[in-house]
Amino acid sequence: MIVLADEPKKNVRELAAQILRKVEAQKAYADLLLDQALKTQALNDPDRALLTELVYGALRWRGKIDARLNPYLRQPMADIDPVIKNLLRVAFYQLLFLDKIPDYAAVNEAVTSAKTHGGAKAAGFTNAVLRNFLRQKDRGDDLNETDDSAAALAAAYSHPEWLVTRWLDEFGLEAAKSLMQANNQKAPLILRINTLKTTREEYLQRLSNAGISASATSRSPQGVCVESAGAVEKFPGFAEGFFQVQGAASQLVGYLLSPLPGERILDACAAPGGKSTHIAELMNDEGELVAIDNSPRGVDKIRDNATRLDLKSLRILCADASKELNDAIARPYDRILVDAPCSGFGTLRGHPEIKWHRNESDIQRLSRLQSKILHRVAGYLKPGGVLVYATCTLMGEENEEVVDAFLAQQKSFELEDAPRYLPREAQDMVRGKVFLALPHRDNTDGFFAARIRKIP
């Protein structure tokens, strides 16, 4: 674990640069490092908000920032001290994207932090780069955003070039641009209302009474979009289990599974428990829902969520769905959900670091794992039972290709029409027979799901 508590207090820009350094060097998740920093650093509310803005903003726009920064460097970016490099990225993010922070303040803070970290030489280098850029800034963006080549789009929309190339092939030019633009927006905070305890209308009124601005989501019948900031744990009804944080597209997977009270259901890759707890609610907390995950920490998180939501039907165990299950949980199931480990390219609004961490070899590796899990758990499904395969990515190798290969080998399974099982509000979120959520079209995370039935 990365410990920040014993480090000397830093200014917000330096702290942001340190977090970005760790995200880059260790392929760490920004939200975990941010949460740790916010808990251990003595920051007031404006500084907490600024730290969050700087970290996520610099990650979302790192490709464009680096393209603007590179011409002012006399050495390859890889050769620059990692903290200084990220101080420059933070400063460029402020200069390019944040109108409320004066240019001189962004430069002065960066230079001061550089001096603290690396002495006078580092401060001089940082100052020279930023001052040289400011002399050219008023001339406008020096990136050619009329160039529709993959390389130019990668810089303009801040995505890796290999990913741009794939999405141009998958979606076409205009849709790919819209998708990348949507990926660079802030992810909304979405709650799923626990309808065993309250209704969406009642909870919206509770939020309003507490001075929290929120509205019903347009795609999920249980979703609430919270528009005002604040710690989720302080929302009314959190401790009582009135809601669970879960994206709108993720909520729709539970409807696609369409569980019934009294059934025996397996959630094969369940952590952190958003879909498991939703399934339990949809089956009126009646029956047996076996939620497994191969991460002990993930299993603990499922238990925490189930306990807070007061759900009794969950049986939560640590187990690896890619391997043979033990006799205690290997009995036949009415329904199985495989929310498979995936590359996560549908979640870039909330996890922008993923686009810099993942590569094409990860997609191939994950595709093999997904197929292994799908074939393994299919053997535990009753004749006539339903299996839903889902991911939060937009990669065909992890989505349709996994399902097509499975169906080609498993002749006793057939693909069903997703729209028949989705809520009315979401029945157009499909491609052919499968569920497909797109950030630029649906204002949700990118999600894929296929509903497969075992022929009796």
Same domain, 305 and 409: yes
pLDDT at 265 exceeding the cut of 90: yes
Same domain, 221 and 341: no
List, for residues 82-102, the tens digit of each pLDDT value: 999 999 999 999 999 999 889
* Domain count of the fold of the chain: 4
- Residue ending a domain, choose from 245, 270, 290: 245
pLDDT confidence band for 140 (50 / 70 / 90):
low
pLDDT at 5 exceeding the cut of 80: no
Same domain, 298 and 211: no
List, for residues 427-438, the tens digit of each pLDDT value: 999 999 999 999
Give the whole-angstrom CA distance, residue 320 versus residue 377: 10
How many CB atoms within 10 Å of residue 408?
Answer: 8
Same domain, 240 and 317: no
Same domain, 336 and 443: yes
- Residue ending a domain, choose from 223, 245, 267: 245
Looking at residues 235-241, what average pLDDT do you find? Answer: 97
Average pLDDT of the chain, as a whole number: 94
Give a yes or no: residue 85 inside a domain. yes
Domain region containing 162? 150-183
Give a yes or no: residue 145 inside a domain. no
> What pLDDT, on a 0 to 100 scale, did the predictor assign at position 167?
97
List, for residues 267-295, the tens digit of each pLDDT value: 999 999 999 999 999 999 999 999 999 99
Looking at residues 146-169, what average pLDDT do you find? Answer: 95
List, for residues 373-417, the tens digit of each pLDDT value: 999 999 999 999 999 999 999 999 999 999 999 999 999 999 999
Give a yes or no: residue 395 inside a domain. yes
Tokens of 424: 């009315």
Domain at 204, CATH number? 3.30.70.1170
- Residue ending a domain, choose from 245, 270, 286: 245
> What pLDDT, on a 0 to 100 scale, did the predictor assign at position 145?
64
pLDDT at 146 exceeding the cut of 90: no
Plot region of 448 (φ>0 → left; ψ -120 to 50 → alpha; else → beta): beta
Same domain, 111 and 209: no
Beta strands, E only, 276-406:
288-293, 314-318, 333-339, 381-391
pLDDT at 316 exceeding the cut of 90: yes
Q: Are 235 and 207 in contact (CB under 8 A)?
A: yes
Give a yes or no: residue 4 inside a domain. no
Q: Within 334-444, where are the H helices?
A: 354-357, 360-378, 400-409, 439-442
Looking at residues 252-280, what average pLDDT do you find? Answer: 98
Domain at 347, CATH number? 3.40.50.150
Enumerate the active-site residues. 392
